[in-house]
Structure 1
Amino acid sequence: MSPRGVTIPEVRQQLFDAAERILLREGPSGLTSRAITREAGVAAGLLHNHFGDLDSFLAALFVDRARTATVRLRGLATQAGSGAVVDNVMVTIEPLFAGNLLALGGLALARPSIVSKLGEAHSEGALELDASERVIADYLAAEQQLGRVPLGADTASIALALVGAAHQLLLTRGPHAPDLRERIRRVADALLTP
């Protein structure tokens, strides 16, 4: 534990990382202020000192991890003209199926109290809910200019359909669901293969 009054460098990330570990290990029900600070190895009141309450902290965690995922997505534009279009799109969509992003999606569903805080973050510009859709649409438009996506294709609608399908599959998957990657790849093939 850190002594009272001692500054802890990067405490936000330390708390975020601890919360993410708990979320992956125990699910949303394991996320308490005490469990998070204990996991992070910091004083019990530190989370509340920095974030005010647990819901504000969890919303900030969600925004932080969404921002990190968005930064990773931006590399798709550099892929225009190389590889197969469906393969490039899949590389962008597959991180949505990673354990931590799945768990964060479950967190938003399990704790509706953070949804209003996420809405505030979105209205303030801190959370880009449509980032993956925009990145994929821009990539497909670039491929369209190169003749690798048909000229008449509505790239914005295809991007929306791909992201919407990924979200639907994530939110409705059950314990016996077929492989998510295989299902979204079939959707991508159907939408992008002339």
Structure 2
Amino acid sequence: MSPRGIAIPDVRQQLFDAAERVLLQKGPAGLTGRAVTKEAGCATGLLYNHFADLDTFLAALFLDRAARAGARMAHLTTRAGMGDVVDNLMDAIETLSTGNLLALAGLVMARPSILGHLGEAFADGTLELDASERAFTAYLRAEQEHGRILADADVDAYALALVGAAHQVLLTHGPHASYLHDRMRRTATALISAITPRA
């Protein structure tokens, strides 16, 4: 319920969206239950009506966003052999940034107590922290099969470089700045040009 007693549709998603905004504005240190509910425009106790504590809530937020990003990233390999390699990679990188998954990964590192609530997801394979890296690796390997990436290129290393660069740019400049797109396109172009067969 809202402070005025009006039912809030899809409360979990409203709280998740609010938490992301707080995280991006104030960083992990500013992410408190009160800050989230204030941002969501709802009663302070609403979060705890749905979640046992803040760490449980943040773990649920991470799992929700990871599942969404994972579903979108899974389609990357279907684009192998089509379009421009850098464009395909940039679409995937922007999927990670617009979903704020990299920022949320930073939150998990900043608040190790969240990890305890992710144990079951780790155990059953629902959550894989290296999912984006593996998606890039699979895509680059598929492009090798199409002859658009050098056969002897270490695609695992290039995938890690892409994810690491995206994470660094996101943490230092935020996900909504045009800087993210421009800097990552330059980085992806430089990396891919080094492993693209010459005519």
TM class, shorter-length: 0.7 to 0.9
Name the residue aligned to 1:50: 50
Name the residue aligned to 1:111: 111
The correspondence of residues 1-194 of structure 1 with structure 2, limited to 5 A, is: 1=1, 10-40=10-40, 44-98=44-98, 100-101=100-101, 103-118=103-118, 121-171=121-171, 173=172, 179-193=179-193, 194=196
Aligned partners of 1:137 and 1:156 also within 8 Å: yes
Cα distance in 2 for partners of 1:160, 1:23 equals 25
Question: How high is the TM-score relative to the length of structure 2?
Answer: 0.74
The unaligned stretches of length 5 or more in structure 1 are none
The unaligned stretches of length 5 or more in structure 2 are none
User: % of aligned pairs identical?
Assistant: 62
What is the number of residues matched between the two proteins? Answer: 189
Cα distance in 2 for partners of 1:38, 1:184 equals 34
Cα distance in 2 for partners of 1:9, 1:125 equals 30
Cα distance in 2 for partners of 1:141, 1:174 equals 30
Change (3 A) 1:32 1:164: closer
Q: CA deviation at 1:85?
A: 1.0
Question: How high is the TM-score relative to the length of structure 1?
Answer: 0.76
Could you report, residue by residue, the CA deviation over 1:58-86 in whole angstroms, capped at 9, with x for unpaired residues?
A: 12112211221221212212211211112
DSSP-derived class of the 1:151 partner: coil
In angstroms, what is the RMSD of aligned CA positions? 3.3
Structure 1 runs (4+) deviating above 6 angstroms are none
Change (3 A) 1:11 1:137: same
Q: CA deviation at 1:142?
A: 1.6
Aligned partners of 2:18 and 2:40 also within 8 Å: yes
